[in-house]
């Protein structure tokens, strides 16, 4: 699984290229299971990357402690991949929908500056967005959220083995990469590359 060291290294790379924007570091699995761990790991993330905010899945009571320590937190409810037993739409029944709404409100009350709504019915996302004062960011939650997320690999078509319903592929970079690599291998096999034009 992804470790704190992994996330710090990746976040540092992002910050080198985009330090002027709002970069939110996704806290890895098991890094925020207790208040003590969350405070230590979120502080380390901010100190070592200079990131402006962290994202924590669920755990409103822990989010509150992190916010009160001076670190901006983006909340996350609905499908929470770090703890989900099955990757599927959440909140389809009344009880599940109410639990997600309650958690979203608790995350806002804890001081989260925004809340990610992942893989929930669009009607539920609309209700949550209307009831919260902070922005909602949807991923598989319909068009009524205040903002949208898609994973860049999905947008670019780099990973095609698994495509949830909410993913829209805007390019076929994987296809172009395979075409380029096959062309390279073919020309090497045939002795066409490197040609005199590509030699000193």
Phi/psi of residue 186, each to 5°?
Answer: -60, -45
Joined together, the tokens standing for residue 80 give: 């929470």
Cα 124 to Cα 58, 63, 88, 129: the distances in Å are: 17, 23, 15, 9
Specify the residue for token string 């609309």.
126
Residue position matching structure tokens 């096959």? 182
Q: What distance in Å separates the CA atoms of residue 33 and residue 186, rounded to the nearest whole number?
A: 51
Q: Is 130 a catalytic residue?
A: no
DSSP, res 117: E
Angstrom CA distances, 67 to 9, 64, 82, 165, 183, stand at 23, 5, 21, 34, 52
Q: How far apart are CA 87 and CA 42, in angstroms?
A: 26
Selected catalytic residue, list 118, 130, 131, 187: 118
Any idea which residues carry the catalytic annotation?
Answer: 118
């Amino acid at each position: 699984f992804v470790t704190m060291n992994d996330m710090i290294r990746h976040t540092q790379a992002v910050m080198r290229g985009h330090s002027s924007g709002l970069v939110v570091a996704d806290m890895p699995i098991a890094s925020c299971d207790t208040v003590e761990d969350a405070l230590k790991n979120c502080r380390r993330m901010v100190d070592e990357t200079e990131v402006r905010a962290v994202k924590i899945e669920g755990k409103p009571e822990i989010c509150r402690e992190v916010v009160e320590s001076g670190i901006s937190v983006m909340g996350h409810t609905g499908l929470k991949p770090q703890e989900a037993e099955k990757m599927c739409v959440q909140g389809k029944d009344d009880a599940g929908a109410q639990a997600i709404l309650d958690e979203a409100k608790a995350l806002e009350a804890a001081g989260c500056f925004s809340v990610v709504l992942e893989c929930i019915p669009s009607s539920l996302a609309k209700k949550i967005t209307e009831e919260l004062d902070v922005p909602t960011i949807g991923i598989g939650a319909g068009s009524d959220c205040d903002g949208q997320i898609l994973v860049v690999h999905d947008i670019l078509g780099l990973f095609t083995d698994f495509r949830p319903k909410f993913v829209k592929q805007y390019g076929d970079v994987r296809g172009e990469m395979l075409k380029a690599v096959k062309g390279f291998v073919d020309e090497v096999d045939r002795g066409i590359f490197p040609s005199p034009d590509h030699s000193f």
